[in-house]
Amino acid sequence: MIGRICGTGSYIPKVAWDNNKLSEMVDTNDEWIQERTGVVRRHIASGEETTSYMAAEAAKAALADASLAPDEVDLILVATISPERIMPSTSCEVQKKIGAVNATCMDVNAACTGFIFALNTAQAFIGQGIYKNVVVIGAESLSNLVNWQERSTCILFGDGAGAAVVRAGETGHYAQVTYSAGNGGNVLTCSSRNQKQFEEQPKAAETYMQMDGREVFKFAVSKVPEVIRELLDREGMQPDEVKYFVLHQANERIVRSVAKRLKEDIGKFPVNMGEYGNTSSASIPILLDELNKKGELRAGEHVILAGFGAGLSYGASLIQW
């Protein structure tokens, strides 16, 4: 059995901060941010818009798109690094909010590669005949982890959620290549906010995201095209057989660099980080939902999803729509 995506959904917080808003908080400006990242604005969760709330809203939209009832869901997988609480899991909170009473629930933490790792996990369960209907979600409230006085990171990140319904079928094409590089994990970190760290004030900064942007950039522009080529070679395919390359939306310069290294037209690399910034595990499913809603994805076409993030982790998945 092979899992086919039969529905997508997303949720974007109502409040948006543009670059001019950030210029009131740190020494920066709209031109500088756009030139280096491609980000124009980012959406910030507030009030009831917790990670689990956004995840549930995205899941509801995906289920409606798939014409699937909540009680038909067998498994809920939520990729996140920014839950509102350690336990219960975000996936269990989603189950409660959407009424998926028959679903097993599990969270996945692979940072910005999280949705791809969760999608692969869904495929493994479906392939073994364990589950038939799986909801895969990427949801983040990164505004809670960002130091809004740190210019190098606060300009990048935003909040949101995206979801896909994956249903078992006898036909289709799915393949994946994923890796982890734990030895490089120190270039992108965020420590747990436990009481001991709050008492030790010098360590408080570590509870916000810390990133060596230069090293992350080098890692991404090297590993993403490498893993995409490996995946295509393994499947005996050429890049021109792929309709879209849906990359993690971290930085427009990274996307352009990957396109150049693959020698593919930049038009095959859709982007939306201008509106949302980097939403970590939510970025790929939000973009996938946008493409689906616009009618850009047609049955039988191949799409590659590729991401990279903390861990370090990276990978690519080939899906047939």
Active site residues: 112, 248, 278
Q: Give the residue ranges of DSSP H helices in the chain.
A: 19-23, 30-37, 51-66, 90-98, 114-127, 151-154, 195-199, 213-235, 252-262, 273-276, 283-293
Give a three-class secondary structure readout of 154-214. HCCECEEEEEEEEEEECCCCEEEEEEECHHHHHHEECCCCCHHHHHCHHHHHHHCCEECHH
What's the rounded Cα separation, in Å, for the pair 283 and 276? 8
Residue 224, φ and ψ in degrees, nearest 5: -65, -50
Q: Which residue bears the tokens 């916000």?
A: 208
The 8-class DSSP code of residue 52 comes to H
What's the rounded Cα separation, in Å, for the pair 126 and 42? 35
